[in-house]
Structure 1
Amino acid sequence: MTGRIVIADDHPLMRAAVRASVEKVWPDSEIVEVADAASARREAEAGNVELLSLDLHMTDSAGLQTLLDLRRDFPAMPIVIVSASEEPRVRRSAKELGASAFIPKTASLPVMREALAAVREGDIWFPDDGTGAEVEETAPDDDVARLARLTPAQRRILALVAQGLLNKQIAHEMQISEATVKAHMTAIFRRLGVVNRTQAVLIAKQLDIAAPPAAEH
């Protein structure tokens, strides 16, 4: 049975561009369009997803954290990032977290099709600084690796810390006790190898999680 292709992006025009490229590379596949990360997860849970095209920033998602969570829960599902970010750091982090490709939203349709075709053949595809060529292999990013060891609840708390919220405010936002927040903060510091909130926030920027994702209790 032919697998489904899920396109997750909150901009209809961008979904249309990705769809046009997907239809060239996977002409016989069922294409499902969604506008948020929660819907993308539901489609993944439904199974038979051959590829997920994922925008990093939608109404309920915040940067690479969504990629990290989906890779953890659906390790066999290829995920292609389609992003407006032009930062090499974001591309490197996406690669480290297991994305199959990173396609800038400024890419032409031929380049987008090239990237998707590479993924269909089981390869990975990442651009350089704008020429459309693939990047060379890079060493694993220690900060990203440490962030990947955090639990979903810990990453949620770290996102709120990055917003400047105090422990009491975080407890209210997540509907947990302040003591639980403090315990999570201790674990976060230990796993990240830092000693204060400022250092933790600096590392958190590697996942671009200044805005919180949907609540996880």
Structure 2
Amino acid sequence: MNILIVDPLPLFIQGMTAGLKNTMPDICVDGVNQCEGIWDILATIPISVMLIDGEMENSSQLILLDDIAARYPNIRIIVMLMRVRKDSLRRFLEHHAVAVVSKEASMDTIFQVIKTACCGMVCIPHSESVWDMDSEQALLTKLSDRQREVLRLIAAGESNKQISRLLNISAGTVKSHLESIYRRLNVKNRTQAAMIMSADE
């Protein structure tokens, strides 16, 4: 099975690729971080499943989903969101997604979603997984200016050492900022934190 991951964050693509290959050793995974790169891959590789970032939801992305479904009707499109919202869920399903899943879901859950989608079924999250709380913007207001600077650099893929150099602060201070960011955003790691920042920009 060939899977294509479309996400603006290279860090997310790397993590998801490693997780998928660990769960499903026989798959081939490709990744692109810009929508323009999709068509070259689809023209050369028989993709079965596409995991596409839904955080950039806008009319052009919905048109993209329609175009993919029209040109490659056998591809199972799974939209991944940091937070699954009721309005987004409905909109993506109306535009040919066969599943919507949280980016925070366990690899076992994502595997089950892929398996269900490949069987031709629509897969939606449990109602308790549908997010109906503060927006990502509201979460970011909990951060200090310095913490937002650190988070922007995380989202850009910088390491702790690089952040330390760029902001002229110690590695210990970077680590302290990260711990505070995780706590305030209620996330477990830098990938989840970066996705919140990416969704806001």
TM range (shorter): 0.5 to 0.7
Equivalent residue in structure 1 for 2:70, among 48, 69, 72: 72
How far apart are the structure 2 equivalents of 1:11 and 1:43? 18
Change (3 A) 1:75 1:21: same
Query: Matched residues, percent identical?
Result: 20
Q: 1:40 pairs with 38, 41, 58, which one?
A: 38
User: 3-state DSSP class of the match of 1:75?
Assistant: coil
Amino acid at match of 1:68: D
2:48 to 39, 47, 50: 50
C-alpha RMSD of matched pairs (Å)? 2.6
Counterparts of residues 173-184 of structure 1 (less than 5 Å): none
Alpha-carbon shift at residue 104 of structure 1 (Å): 1.5
Runs of 4+ in 1 over 6 A off after TM superposition: none
User: Separation in 1 of the partners of 2:51 and 2:110?
Assistant: 11
CA distance in 1, matches of 2:24, 2:59: 27
Q: Which has the higher helix share?
A: 2
Q: Which residue of 2 aligns with 1:195?
A: none
The answer to whether residue 47 in structure 2 is matched with residue 10 in structure 1 is no
Alpha-carbon deviation of 1:25?
5.1
Structure 2: where are the runs of 5+ without partners? 131-201
TM-score normalised to structure 1 length: 0.51
TM-score (norm 2): 0.55
What's 2:168 paired with? none
Q: Is the 8 A contact 1:8 1:36 kept in 2?
A: yes
Q: Which ranges in structure 1 are unaligned for 5 or more consecutive residues?
A: 133-217
Residue 138 of structure 2 is matched in structure 1 by: none
User: Alignment partner of 2:96: what SS?
Assistant: coil
Is 1:92 matched up with 2:55? no
Aligned residues: 129
Q: Which amino acid aligns with 1:44?
A: L
1:64-89 CA deviation, whole Å, 9 max, x = no partner? 23212211221111111112342211
- Gap change, CA 1:131 and 1:84, over 3 Å in 2: closer
Preserved contact between residue 52 and residue 78 of structure 1 (Cα < 8 Å):
yes
Instruction: Tell me by how many angstroms 1:13 deviates.
Output: 2.6
